[in-house]
Amino acid sequence: MLKRCAKCGLPETYETIEFDDRQVCNICRQKDYKDSEIDWDARKRLLGSLIEEYRGKHDYDCLIPFSGGKDSTYTLNYLVREYRVKPLVIQFNHGFMRSNLNLNNERTFKKLGVDVLSFTPNWKLVKRLMKEALIRKGDFCWHCHTGIFAYPMHVAIKYNVPLIFWGEPSSEYTAYYDYRDNEIEQVDETRFNRFVNLGITAQDMEGMIKHDFELDPRDLTPYTYPKIRDLKKIGFRSVCLGSYIPWDVRRNVDEIKRDLGWQGDRVENMPFEYWPYEKIECYMQGVRDYIKWLKRGYSRVTQMAALDIRNERMTRDKADELVNRYEGRRPPSLDLFLEYLEIDEKEFNRIVEQTVIPPHRPDFIRIVPGDKTDDFGQWFREKA
């Protein structure tokens, strides 16, 4: 039995979680602080002056890294509509973009009228990176985590656009940065090393894969954080919009639906009626959630429910009911994943088992299959 937060239900295996003497977790506590202690008016004024500081000084007012999920879509929409910034939108194509996402993005870019650069890394390398990351850390998304955060920094330097806006602050989900410190989160290399890259840098990866993968050292540049001096010299400021305005996911989604016709999508093993907008950008999400379930004993449903409980939009009982019904099913996308990595399910289970977080113990015997999404047939297969 895992120890859980008395309020939101997140278990002790959740990263950075700490319980106080009432067994309420630090993420709940920092949310309380966010609601009552932060002077959001003052923060908004800071945002205004930050934007003015950089407006018009370079080819673009700012850089906005963009995935097309609810957070980056909201960020782009907000900055363009409220502040009329001229952004350079940077998209990192992780290799698993879903058709609904692509439609959303086309609609967004055309309605807002913005310049967009999209970068798709070498797929062969991506497959090898996924495998190594899975083995080392039980998390195959290394290329995506690092690419999304490192690649735009290279673009900032190359294009000399020093102001970079990200979306939600990490304090919404974890305590690596705490709202209670009342600081603007810096999205920099320290943050990258603290929890984005799983503790593995591109240079580490190079040594780990080069014995069986033909690698040109430059292949890993998109995943490598640029030198701090180069960033300091352009006067970089890399911040989250959510440090300046209070982040409210449900409100944000309503706004982008209204302004841009943004649409949610079904995700494997998630109740669509409750969370139609979460993690819709990637068709490997089901596998990601499944691995989390095996490693830590909880998954996406628990996390989303915790957020809603904290925002007083759901009761604990309802949350428990949804968790029991949806969590822990085997996603159909796992078949694709095994194909990409050229391993079988037995090997997959063995690898994941090495990375389990105590005191949790996964059940590899009773496996319940989950449902396919509508676009499953469109997802890339290695064998035709």
Partner 1 sequence: MIGILDVDIGNLRSLSNAVYSLGYDFRMVSEPSQFEALSHLLIPGVGAYGTAMQRIEERGVRAAIVEFAATGAPVLGICLGMQILSSWGEEGGRCEGLGIVPGRVVPLDPGNGLTLPHVGWNTARFSSVHPVLHQVKTERDFYFVHSYHFVCEDARHAIATCDYGQSFNAIVASRNVLGFQFHPEKSQTNGLKLLENFCAWNGRC
Partner 2 sequence: MLKKRIIPLQLLLNGRLVKTVRFGEYRDVGDPVQSSKVYSDQDADELVFLNIDRAQRSIDSLVVLLDRVAEACFMPLALGGGIRTVADAEWLIRSGADKVVINSAAYREPELLSRISARFGRQAVIASIDVRRSAERYDLYSDCGRVLESVSLEAHIAAVVAHGAGEILINSIDRDGTMQGYDIELIRLVTERVAVPVIACGGAGNYDHMKDAFILTKVSALACGSLFNFGDNNPIRAKAFLTNYQIPFKVI
For partner 1, the binding residues (CB under 8 A) are: 190, 227-229, 232-233
Select the binding partner of residue 164 from partner 1, partner 2, none (C-beta < 5 to 8 A, by kind): none
113 or 358: CB nearest partner 2: 358
Q: From partner 2, partner 1, none, which one binds at residue 122 (CB under 5 to 8 Å depending on kind)? A: none
Select from partner 1, partner 2, none the partner in contact with residue 305, using the beta carbon and a kind-dependent cut-off of 5 to 8 Å.
Answer: none
Burial class (CB in 10 A: 0-12, 13-18, 19+), 207: exposed
Report in angstroms how near the CB of residue 186 gets to partner 1 at its nearest: 10
- Residue (241 or 352) nearer to partner 2, CB: 352
Taking alpha carbons only, the member of 31, 70, 110 closest to residue 254 is 70
Judge whether 333 and 341 are in contact, CB under 8 Å.
no
Which residue, 42 or 228, is less far from partner 1 as judged by CB? 228
Q: How many Cβ atoms sit within 10 Å of the Cβ of residue 24? A: 15
Minimum CB separation of residue 188 from partner 1 in Å reads 10
10, burial (CB in 10 Å: exposed 0-12, middle 13-18, buried 19+): buried
Question: Smallest gap, in angstroms, from Cβ of residue 230 to partner 2?
Answer: 13
Tell the smallest beta-carbon distance from residue 235 to partner 1 (Å).
Answer: 9
Closer residue to partner 2 in complex, CB, 156/202: 202
On whether the CB atoms of residues 253 and 311 are closer than 8 A, the answer is no
Q: Which sign does the torsion angle of CA 245, 251, 255, 257 carry?
A: positive
Phi, then psi, of 117 in degrees rounded to 5: -110, 135
- Considering the complex, what minimum distance in angstroms separates the CB of residue 244 from partner 1? 17
Q: Taking the complex as a whole, how short is the minimal distance between the CB of residue 17 and partner 2, in angstroms?
A: 8
Q: Which does 193 bind (CB under 5 to 8 A by kind): partner 2, partner 1, none?
A: partner 2
Q: How far is the CB of 207 from partner 2 (least distance, A)?
A: 5
Site for partner 2, rule CB under 8 A: 15-19, 136-139, 175-176, 189-195, 197-204, 206-208, 295, 354-355, 357-358
Between 137 and 250, CB nearer to partner 2:
137
Rounded Cα distance, 339 and 118, in Å: 26
Spatial separation of the C-alpha atoms in residues 304 and 290, rounded to whole Å: 15
- Select from 59, 68, 42 the least CA-distant residue to 243: 42
Beta-bridged to residue 25, according to DSSP, are 19
Distance CA 112, CA 99 (A): 20
Structure tokens at 191: 């943050």
Q: Which of the listed partners (partner 2, partner 1, none) does 232 bind, with a CB threshold of 5 to 8 Å by partner kind?
A: partner 1
Q: Which does 289 bind (CB under 5 to 8 A by kind): partner 1, partner 2, none?
A: none
